[in-house]
């Protein structure tokens, strides 16, 4: 019984407060200015860095018995000195995080932030309620 009475009193208070009398509708406001909001993100980028062998590694003091053997010795020395490692760097990348939109409605100018570019006009919610 007490719960039911409490619910009725709460409903009556809500109806008489003017909230129930408020009217809300959607209208369109002309957009005056749109500015992209640009943020910088740092993303990890991995790449392989290889060191070139010293040019003197190609020179031999001993003369190989054949040209083929000479080439194989050069390749082995070259491969031993050729080193690679993976390096991770942070690179800056700019992206549009949103749009700062300035619009006019009812003679008033306002600015808001949207996730999209609204174009020449944007929808706005208009709420009317009686004055007390």
- What is residue 119's three-state secondary structure? coil
Q: Which residue has the tokens 């619910």?
A: 7
Q: Which residue has the tokens 């019984």?
A: 1
pLDDT tens digits in sequence order for the chain, 132 residues long: 555 554 545 445 544 555 445 678 889 999 999 999 999 999 999 998 887 766 555 555 555 556 667 677 777 766 666 678 889 999 999 999 999 999 999 889 999 999 999 999 999 988 877 776
**Alpha helices (H) in 28-90, listed in sequence order:** 67-81
Q: Give 60's DSSP letter.
A: -
Distance, CA of 113 to chain centre: 15
What is the spatial distance between Cα 132 and Cα 128, in angstroms, rounded to a whole number?
A: 13
- What pTM was estimated for this model as a whole? 0.51
């Amino acid at each position: 019984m007490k719960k039911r009475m409490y619910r009725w009193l709460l409903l009556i208070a809500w109806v008489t407060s003017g909230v129930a009398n408020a009217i809300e509708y959607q209208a369109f406001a002309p957009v005056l200015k749109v500015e992209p909001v640009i943020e910088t993100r740092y993303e990890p980028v991995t790449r392989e860095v290889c060191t070139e062998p010293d040019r003197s590694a190609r020179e031999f003091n001993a003369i190989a018995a054949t040209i083929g053997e000479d080439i194989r010795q050069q390749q082995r020395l070259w491969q031993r000195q050729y080193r690679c490692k993976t390096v991770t760097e942070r690179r800056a990348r700019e992206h549009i995080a949103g749009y700062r939109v300035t619009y006019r409605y009812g003679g008033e100018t306002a600015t808001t932030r949207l996730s999209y570019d609204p174009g020449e006009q944007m929808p706005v919610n208009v709420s009317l309620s009686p004055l007390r």
